[in-house]
Amino acid sequence: MASMFGTSVRVSLFGQSHSDALGVCVEGLPAGFCLDQQALAAFMARRAPGQGTWSTPRKEADIPHFVSGLNPDGYTCGAPLCALIKNTNTRSADYDTLRRIPRPGHADFPAQQKWLGFQDVAGGGHFSGRLTAALCVAGGIALQMLTQVDITIAAHLSEVAGIADDSFAAYTNDASSLQTLSNQMQALHDGRTFPVLNDEVSAHMQQAIAQARRTHDSVGGIIECVATGLPAGVGGPLFDGIESAIARIVFGIGGVKGLEFGRGFAASSMRGSEHNDAYRMDQKTVIPTTNNAGGNLGGLTTGAPVLFRMAIKPTSSIGLEQDSVDMKQKTNAQLNVVGRHDPCIAPRAVPVAEAIMALALLDQLISYPAQQTYDTFAKTIATQKQSNL
C-alpha cells in the first residue's frame, strides 16, 4: 500500500496534518533492544516545527507516545511497535478556500480528481510533510540500533538557494579522508542549530531564507546524507538493492524532486577511467580507493561510505498571489495562500534524510545480510537483552 515500505522491517505511516494524531507502526524490529527515549526526543526536536526563523511558526512538541511494541522496561518486545504524535496546534480554517481553489505546487488538484472532495484538505492532509514526524520516530529507533554495529549516519544542508556548504569527505576512501569525514559527522552530531559544516555558509543560507520570507516567497535546497561502517555485500540486485530501498522512501517525501548517489548526474560528464573506483588491499581487506559510486554497485554495498543527495523544492505554499482555478465555478481564479509555512523546508528535512538512510539500511541488513555483520547485530541485541534480565 502507498503508506507502507520495507521488506523485513516494515513501516506504515498514518494520520493527517490536522487530524487528532498521526503515527507509525513498525514490524520486524529485533526484540531486546533498549530504546533511549531521551535520545529519540532530541532527534525528533531537530525536525519539529517552530525552531528558528527559517521554520514555520507552528509549534508542535512531537513527543511520541508508544502504545505497543515496548515492554514495561522500555525494551522492544517483538510485537509491532506503534507510536502516536498528537497534533496540538492546528488552524484548519486557514485551508477552507482550498476545497475550491487548489494551491499550485501541492496535491490539492490531483487529490480532488482522485477522491472527489472527500480528501482531507487541511494542512495538506495525508500529503503533508507533517507525516515525516512519524517517519522520524521509526528512523530514530533505526539509528540507535545501527550504532550497535558501529554504523553511523549524518546529513547536512549541501545547498540552500544556490549557496553551497562544504561537501562530506566521502569520495576518497583512504584513512585521512575517512578521519575528516568522521570529524564532520561528529560536528553535526554535536548539536549544531543549523545543520551545515561551514559556519560562514550558515549565515549566508539563513539570510537567503529570511529574504525569501520577507518577500512572501520560498527557496529550496539539497541535502547530503552519508553512512559509514557498512561492510561490502549488503543489499540485493535489481529492484531490491540499496539504491532502490532508499529511493522508495525518499520519493515518499512530497518536497523531494531529485535523488543522486555518489557523483550522481556529474558522472555523465566523466570518463570511465575517472569514475571507476579502483581496488586495493588494505591488510587482508579489499577496498575501493575512491568512492564515485557512492558506496554501492549493483545494489550492493562496496565497503565505502554510502552517500546520497536529495533535492528539495521551494516550499509550495507562498504568500504571493498565484494563478489557479475555482473548481466549483469552473473559472480562473487568484489565490493568496494563508497559514503558517516554512520559507525553506530543507533544514527540517535533514533529520528526515538520516531517518530514511537508517530505515533502508536496517531493512537491508536484515533482509539481505552480509552474514558477519548480521550475526554481530543479532548477538549485540541478544547480549544486551541477557545482561538486563
Give the predicted TM-score (pTM) of the model: 0.90
Q: Who's near 134: CB < 8 A, 6+ residues apart?
A: 13, 14, 15, 22, 23, 24, 83, 85
Q: Which residue has the higher pLDDT, 110 or 310?
A: 310
Q: Are 318 and 218 contacting, i.e. CB atoms less than 8 angstroms apart?
A: yes
At 223-233, the pLDDT tens digits run 999 999 999 99
Q: Are 187 and 180 contacting, i.e. CB atoms less than 8 angstroms apart?
A: no
Residue 373: is its pLDDT beyond 90? no
Q: How many CB atoms lie within 10 A of CB 181?
A: 22
What average pLDDT does the chain have?
88
Identify the band that residue 20 occupies on the pLDDT scale cut at 50, 70 and 90. Answer: confident
Q: What per-residue confidence (pLDDT) applies to 113?
A: 83
Mean pLDDT of 170-176: 92
Q: What is the CA radius of gyration of the chain?
A: 21
Q: Where are the domains of the chain?
A: 4-387
Residue 388: is its pLDDT beyond 60? no
Q: What per-residue confidence (pLDDT) applies to 137?
A: 97
Q: What per-residue confidence (pLDDT) applies to 65?
A: 94
Give the architecture (CATH level 2) of 4-387. 4-Layer Sandwich (3.60)
Lowest mean pLDDT among 4-18, 112-126, 180-194, 246-260: 112-126
